[in-house]
Amino acid sequence: MVRKILLILLSLFILQVYAQENKEESAQYHISILTIGPGNSLSDAFGHSGIRVIDEINNYDIVFNYGVYDYNAPNFYGNFVKGRPIYSLGLNNYENFYNNYVNQSRQIIEQKLDLSEYQKRIFVNKLITNSKEANKFYEYNYFENNCSTKIADLFNEILEEDIKNEDLHKINVSTNSYRKLVYENINPNSWGALGIDICLGAVIDKNINSQDELFLPYNLKSYFDQLGNSNIRNGSLVTTSILFGEYSKYTETLISPLYFLLILSLIIISITYIDYLRRTRSVLLDSIILIITGIIGLLLIYLWFFSNHTASAWNYNLLWAIPFNLILFIELLKSKQKKWVISYLKLIVIMLLLMCLHWIVGVQVFNISLISLILALIIRYFYLIKYFTNSIRQ
């Protein structure tokens, strides 16, 4: 009899412990992904991502933010130019984080994740470890290592078994490229797109895989929508809600580069026509063209060969923005030019035509606003070939 009573008491004790553990499990952490909409500046044009963690026991509600950078940090601008900007994992009070983006009128989307308590504990421990002073800094890369890719890597590690079980682990090559995805977020006919298209090379025109697309916060949000539509956690892994605002795409208010460069191109062609009628040469126009294209060319050379900006490699904008144009500029300041000037100008024309070929066959996508400028440069250089051929012979 005593033995039966002891067994009953032991069973009740085990049930009580089990119930207490389950109570602690359900009450400890709540984890969600926050997706922030585009802002009013180019640096905010693609949105932002953060991880919200609520701890019911310790009574905190914070956002782990991989997008923290400090302009006042030692050599920040130097590292940025070299392609080695240092970002960090920061901690923000959720209310402050929320109010900051509400004040900017930027959309806020929350995706609550129904992870197991074991997964939550592992995940939170990783975040806490990564946020420590010795671990929180990382070398930012816009396409490969940013606020969204960091989050994707963490969750893919935590959900690895679930993703495999649902056969969602296959990484397929998509029809998208980095540049195409950039165009989906900013107008190709904008100064931001023009700057990106000039500075970044053909490497961003290659097709990328589905995981590469997660460099964009809204693509990360869509990825978790996909996981939420799977059978992970019986289809309850993700619950999505809009906390504030509507999606608003980044826009520019300045005159578009297409119209600006079209006007500039018409000016170049008009001056060239006047020079043709008068059999003269506008030294000022040629100086401006050669200095600007030469300086841009030097920048592209630096980005490709001397910086860590890997996306700037194989940049065929060098076919029109040629560093050696600065040498030609110096030569044209002289009272009498040498014969190599004609050969060099012919080479420039060939390079411009080669650029057009690269554009047509898809080796690299160039900004649409450059079309009129390239045509104007070809006309100007052809005139200079004719002009110097006649003047050098005399």
> What structural domains and CATH numbers belong to the chain?
27-171+210-244 (3.90.1720), 257-393 (no CATH)
Q: Which of 295, 364, 366, 304 is nearest to 83 (CA)?
A: 304
What end-to-end distance do the CA atoms of the chain give, in Å?
127
Angstrom distance (rounded) from CA 196 to CA 368? 12
Query: Are the C-beta atoms of 38 and 185 separated by less than 8 Å?
Result: yes
Q: So what's the pLDDT on residue 81?
A: 65
Return d(Cα 338, Cα 322) in angstroms, integer: 20
Whole-prediction pTM: 0.86
Helix, strand or coil, per DSSP, at residue 360: helix
Q: What is the pLDDT along the chain (394 residues), one digit of tens a residue?
A: 434 433 333 343 333 434 444 444 455 899 999 999 999 988 899 999 999 999 999 999 999 999 888 766 666 666 666 777 889 999 999 999 999 999 999 999 999 999 999 999 999 999 999 999 999 999 999 999 999 999 999 999 999 998 988 887 778 888 899 999 999 999 999 999 999 999 999 999 999 999 999 999 999 999 999 999 999 988 899 999 999 999 999 988 889 999 999 999 999 999 999 999 999 999 999 999 999 999 999 999 999 999 988 999 999 999 999 999 999 999 999 888 899 999 999 999 999 999 999 999 999 999 999 999 999 999 999 999 999 998 876 6
* Residue pLDDT, tens place only, 284-295: 999 999 999 999
Q: Length of the chain in residues, anyone?
A: 394
CB atoms within 10 A of CB 391: 14
For residue 51, the cross-strand partners are 33, 64
